[in-house]
Amino acid sequence: MKYNLPDENGFFGEYGGSFIPEELQKIMNEINVEYNKARKDPEFQKELAYLYQHYVGRPSPLFHAQNLSKKYGAEIYLKREDLNHTGAHKINHCLGEVLLAKRLGKKKVIAETGAGQHGVALATAAALLGLECDIYMGEVDIAKEQPNVIRMKILGTTVVPVKSGQRTLKEAVDECFDAYVKDPVTQLYAIGSVVGPHPFPQMVRDFQSVVGTEVKSQFKTQTGQALPQNLVACVGGGSNAMGLFYPFIDDTSVNMYGVEPAGRGTAVGDHASTITYGKPGIIHGFKCYLLQDENGAPSSVYSVASGLDYPGVGPEHSNLKDIGRVNYFNITDKEAIDAFFELSRIEGIIPAIESSHAVAYAIKLAKQKPGESIVVNLSGRGDKDIDFVIDNYGKQYGIHR
């Protein structure tokens, strides 16, 4: 039977759906109806394909990392999403969301951001396509992530400082949500991963699936083999992983591995391994595996990679875990930082710390499966991380400013 999820109510098995106030549900229904029209509209698809090719620079290369392959014993391929305009996979779904916002007659896109990666990608798409953009960001994150804050401002976006609570990502989500509820007619809340109420997990997956579709044809052209044996991607909310996995779900010979952040330990607040340690619950309007306390409130989370520290995870991943189609493992901060330097020094590619989690797991897998092919989604480039890495880990790797 062919995989065909979500169902018409946005469920992937028991996960997903839409658990939101009635007035927002009406708006989500409108978004869903318009998205389904856009999906089948050749003009919409043509415009998106044009932007992917000529603006983002797609198709991104599939690179056979021969040095890494020789050293660890498997054939490792890197899907170079780090080479996209703006440096990561996020631009793929931001362009889709902003095109849809225009189609819906919206004037503005809004979103929250933690480290600023989603904010910059959305600000970029909004600048290109002529919509206003407000990005909600905690004051603590604003102080920490100055280069991305400046980028957004240069791109013409308003960065709204969030002053409540811990002044980080969670409060930014809350405030952005409040702003959206106040005016869901002229604004679109452009969610940054395969999370949130239906239809966002489906929509973001569809926009990202260009990644897996390209890999399928590139792998065949380059190797003459029909399919890769293993796929590996890091999982925060899960958009880069779904983008790589989705086109291969019915190809049951392909093993798929999602890599969560194991952080610095197994205690609450020391990791963000949602699927590994969480249990089903509801967050931000959808059901998924969730790191939660005994009352169902989201736990605090941590990872060295700020793009991976979310207490929930995409509903589709939650279901793929339960049906056993994707395997989920985790990688510690230390293993990720080791992989960050290994890839930099052996292939001349500096990966994002998020992507370094996937590289670290691929290296482990290579040792277990000698000779097999492994495609890693290199979701982003590490330029944004170099100051942090050198300040915190430089000495251990013999680097001094």
Closest CB 363 distance from ligand PLP, rounded Å: 18
Q: Kindly report the CA angle at 88 between 171 and 208, in degrees rounded to 5? A: 90
Of 44-52, 177-185, 214-222, 231-239, the window that binds ligand PLP (rule: CB under 6 A) is 231-239
Task: Assign 227 to helix, strand or coil.
Answer: coil
Residue 148 in contact with ligand PLP, rule: CB under 6 A: no
Reduced DSSP (H G I as helix, E B as strand, rest coil) percent helix, strand, coil of the chain, to 5? 50, 20, 35
Closest CB 1 distance from ligand PLP, rounded Å: 28
The Cα–Cα gap between 74 and 363 comes to 9
Of 140-148, 271-279, 322-330, 350-358, the window that binds ligand PLP (rule: CB under 6 A) is 350-358
* Backbone Cα Rg of the chain: 20
Window 290-329: residues binding ligand PLP (CB under 6 A): 307-308
Task: Name the closest residue to ligand PLP (Cβ).
Answer: 380
Task: Assign 280 to helix, strand or coil.
Answer: strand
Binding mask 26-65 for ligand PLP (x = CB under 6 A): ----------------------------------------
Backbone angles phi, psi at 258, to 5 degrees: -100, 135
Closest CB 238 distance from ligand PLP, rounded Å: 5
For 140, 271, 314, 322, the CA distances from 171, given in Å and listed in that order, are: 11, 19, 20, 31
Closest CB 381 distance from ligand PLP, rounded Å: 8
Closest CB 119 distance from ligand PLP, rounded Å: 11
Residue 379 in contact with ligand PLP, rule: CB under 6 A: yes
* Residue matched to tokens 């979500």: 6
The Cα–Cα gap between 95 and 279 comes to 33
Of 148-156, 265-273, 352-360, 361-369, the window that binds ligand PLP (rule: CB under 6 A) is 352-360
- Active site positions, annotated: 90, 112, 379
Closest to 330 in 3D by CA, of 243, 231, 263: 263
* Residue matched to tokens 């916002």: 101
The Cα–Cα gap between 132 and 199 comes to 23
Taking phi first (over 0 means left), then psi (-120 to 50 degrees means alpha), and beta for anything else, what does residue 89 get? alpha
Residue 202 in contact with ligand PLP, rule: CB under 6 A: no
One of 234, 336, 337, 389 touching ligand PLP (CB under 6 A) = 234
The Cα–Cα gap between 198 and 8 comes to 9
Backbone angles phi, psi at 393, to 5 degrees: -130, -5
Residue 236 in contact with ligand PLP, rule: CB under 6 A: yes
One of 86, 255, 355, 356 touching ligand PLP (CB under 6 A) = 355
Binding mask 78-117 for ligand PLP (x = CB under 6 A): ----------x-x--------------------------x
> Is the CB of 69 or the CB of 274 nearer to ligand PLP?
274
# residues near ligand PLP by CB under 6 A:
18
Residue 193 in contact with ligand PLP, rule: CB under 6 A: yes
The Cα–Cα gap between 365 and 367 comes to 5
One of 112, 260, 380, 385 touching ligand PLP (CB under 6 A) = 380
Cis-peptide into 161, omega within 30 deg: no
Window 237-276: residues binding ligand PLP (CB under 6 A): 237-240
Q: Is 50 buried (19+), middle (13-18) or exposed (0-12) by CB count in 10 A? A: exposed
Residue 354 in contact with ligand PLP, rule: CB under 6 A: yes
- Residue ranges in contact with ligand PLP by CB under 6 A: 88, 90, 117, 193, 234-240, 307-308, 352, 354-355, 379-380
